A = this chain, B = another copy of it.
Amino acid sequence: MSKGRLEAFSDGVLAVIITIMVLEMRAPHATSFAALWPIAPVFLSYVLSFIYIGIYWSNHHHLLHAVERVNGAALWANLHLLFWVSLIPFTTAWLGGSGLATWPVAIYGVVLLLAALAYYILAKVLIAAQKGRSVLADAIGRDKKTVVSLGIYAAAISLGFLRPWMGCAGYVIVAIIWLIPDRRIERILAATEEAGE
């Protein structure tokens, strides 16, 4: 089964998700500069969510690039990932409109945590679909970064109940960790190409 349509559909869904979030930033009726202030938290949560969806797109790109075959299970593992990512516009709107209240911060993190789990499952399903020992399995075999970020999400969600800003700080930290693209995959792929395998 070709991976072309899986990539095309995922690109389409992620492109729609990343852009419909901006619809939550409604233009104010007033025309003064001060009229933009109430939108500031909505804008900041938009920026954070834009970066997160950019991270998912970028990592999805790297993941599928290292894959040769997809199967029916991979289609559904991919839809499962897209489902949790598709909830980000909702949690972003709630977070942005709440002024860092406890529950919107927590639910924002829970959706991020479940999306990260879904990404982890997708990677496992894709590895299982490859024949023999794959490049991908070598590249993400001991996937420390995912485990670390799952831990930070859990901690951030918990701390968010004490101080909501600490929850948000945790999400920002994970974003920074992931902004560094998955160089392991890039490096091993490059090495494989050079080795002529």
Q: How far is the CA of A17 from the CA of B82 in the complex (A)?
A: 13
Rounded to whole Å, the gap between the CB of A129 and the closest CB of chain B is 13
Tell me which residues across on chain B come within 8 A of A7, comparing CB atoms.
5, 8
Count residues on chain A whose CB falls below 8 Å from chain B CBs: 59
| Given known A2-B65, A8-B11, A12-B12, contact A27–B97 (CB-CB < 8 A) | yes
Tell me which residues across on chain B come within 8 A of A101, comparing CB atoms.
31
Q: Is the CB of B86 within 8 A of A18?
A: yes
Q: Which residues from 11 to 47 on chain A have a C-beta closer than 8 Å to any C-beta of chain B?
A: 11-20, 22-29, 31-33, 35-36, 47
Q: Is the CB of B11 within 8 A of A5?
A: yes
Residue of B nearest to A164 (CB): B31
Interface code A128-156, partner B: CB below 8 Å = 1, 0 otherwise?
00000000000000000000000000000
Tell me which residues across on chain B come within 8 A of A181, comparing CB atoms.
72, 75-76
Q: Is the CB of A31 within 8 A of B102?
A: yes
Q: Is the CB of A58 within 8 A of B72?
A: yes
| Given known A16-B19, A19-B13, contact A31–B72 (CB-CB < 8 A) | no
A88-96, A115-123, A165-173 - interface stretch: A88-96
- Is A79 on the interface with B (CB-CB < 8 A)? yes
Tell me which residues across on chain B come within 8 A of A15, comparing CB atoms.
9, 12-13, 15-16
- Is A162 on the interface with B (CB-CB < 8 A)? no
Q: How far is the CA of A102 from the CA of B31 in the complex (A)?
A: 8
Residue of B nearest to A104 (CB): B31
Residue of B nearest to A190 (CB): B1
Q: Is the CB of A103 within 8 A of B72?
A: no
Other A-B pairs, 6, CB within 8 Å; known A15-B15, A20-B20, A29-B97 = A9-B14, A20-B22, A22-B87, A26-B93, A58-B76, A75-B181
